[in-house]
Amino acid sequence: MYSIYVTNETGSQLYVRLQNEKLSAANPNFCFELDMAKGNVTSYMVQWSFCSIPSHHNQTLPFAVDLTHDRMYASFYASNRVFMVDYEINCSQFGCVFVSLSPNFHVVQTNPEPVWIPAKKGDTLKGKIVKAGPQSYFGRLSANASASCQVKL
């Protein structure tokens, strides 16, 4: 298992479903049922395995990817409407998905260039740090920076 990361750059709360099956195949009536849900949208989204990504500070959410499947299907809901259903994600080629407004909702699959930071054992690591291996950590340049980095100890 590994993760693919979806980053919300829209400025709105974003609901994301990233699965091996197409939403349209799992529930062909999804959009109709969502329209009928009206005031109970959040619980309906949760029922269909959507995850919420907050609207502030380019929030990122990891999704687990099964090694036996290199393609997954993403569906997106924001600003009171479904703007994309069953968008194919090539997980073996891309590790990140950015969702932004330019001027309409726009999705980009990418592999951003890594930012390397030298560090020695015992150095104070700032920002959010995630252990990636016995001697390797992923983190941020600083608490406010959006660029990710890998720190080898």
What integer pLDDT is reported at residue 38 of this predicted model? 78
Higher per-residue pLDDT: 135 or 83: 83
What integer pLDDT is reported at residue 114 of this predicted model? 60
Tell if the pTM clears 0.85, that is, is over it: no
CATH T-level topology, domain 2-110 = Immunoglobulin-like (2.60.40)
How confident is the model over 106-145, as pLDDT tens digits?
Answer: 999 988 766 566 666 676 665 556 666 666 666 655 545 5
> What one-character-per-residue DSSP string does 60-118 give?
EEEEEE-TT-SEEEEEEEETTEEEEEEEEEETTT-SEEEEEESSSEEEEEE-PPPEE--
What's the chain's average pLDDT? 82
The domain ranges of the chain are: 2-110, 115-152
